[in-house]
Amino acid sequence: MRIATWNINSVRIREERVREFLTRSDVDVLCLQETKCTDQQFPDFTDTGYEQAHFGLHSFNGVAILSRVGLSSVKTNFGQPGFDKDLTQKQNLEARAIGANCGGVEVWSLYVPNGREIHDPHYTYKLRWLHALADYAGGRTTKAISADTADEAIEPASDRLCLVGDFNIAPRDEDVWDRSHFNGKTHVTPNERDCLAALEEAGLMQATALIQDEYTYWDYQAMRFPKGEGMRIDLQYARGITATAARVDRDERKGKGASDHAPVIVDYEV
């Protein structure tokens, strides 16, 4: 099974890029993040032979799964916390996660909170979100809190599990172009990296560790892409299936109208 993850940074702007990618990449499952649209605004890709599921509430965040190997048991809640910048208000669930059964594998498209600054409440939210994800993967979650309902029981994660997306964490110092640039900043802190280690403790392996010396994200500012100043923050974690090959579609970051992320593609033996 070939699974790709791609922070598309507005799917309506880049619909044709998605269609062209599906045509040439031969992926079985494509997970998108930062679709930046509501469910009603999400483009219809079913004419390409892929089923689709999308979770979007506003013109920011948003996640989707496109699958040609089946798509069922869709869910958007694994027990993660919500967030509102006004901490006195109800912390509603954000459109950052969608999961589904795709060809016998439970696949999640994840857009992990950025964290903003180390002393920002969003950083604490990021860590809590990732702790909940590790709890879910490890079978330690029994309740899910949604924006609209009271606590509800959720099913445990499958033995065949694939968590993919924009994790907003560089696993190693080598995964950023200049470690000193990130001193005192998010994405490289021990607390964030401990959250990735917790996924491995839950039995998942970082499939994208097969990719060496390749970045997946280059900021639009300061000409980061031409300068080769990137980060490896788009990751895939899996258990019950074995990664056999992985690559970054760096060419997709080129040209006018490209997302600031490149697709990350992994082949699995299921």
* Eight-state DSSP code of residue 266: E
**Would you state the torsion angle of the CA atoms of residues 185, 231, 32, 209, taken in this order, to the nearest 10 degrees?**
-110
* Eight-state DSSP code of residue 62: -
Whether 261 is a known active-site residue: answer yes
Residue among 50, 111, 123, 217 flagged as catalytic: 111
**Is 92 labelled as part of a ligand binding site?**
no
**Is 155 labelled as part of a ligand binding site?**
no
**Is 261 labelled as part of a ligand binding site?**
yes
Residue among 135, 166, 175, 234 flagged as catalytic: 166
As given in the structure block, the two tokens for residue 74 are 């869709």
Amino acid identity, position 23 = T
**Those residues with Cβ within 8 angstroms of residue 42's Cβ, 6 or more apart along the chain or in another chain:** 11, 35, 52, 54, 56, 62, 64
**Those residues with Cβ within 8 angstroms of residue 235's Cβ, 6 or more apart along the chain or in another chain:** 5, 164, 165, 167, 169, 171, 196, 206, 208, 264
**Is 168 labelled as part of a ligand binding site?**
yes
Residue among 215, 261, 267, 268 flagged as catalytic: 261
Alpha helices in 5-50 (DSSP H): 15-25
Whether 166 is a known active-site residue: answer yes
Please name every residue paired with 238 in a beta bridge, in sequence order, or none if there are none.
Answer: 162, 205
Whether 111 is a known active-site residue: answer yes
CA angle at 242 for the pair 208 and 261, rounded to the nearest 5°:
25
Amino acid identity, position 166 = D
Can you say which residues are annotated as belonging to the binding site for Mg(2+)? 7, 34, 166, 168, 260-261
Q: Which residues belong to the active site? A: 111, 166, 261
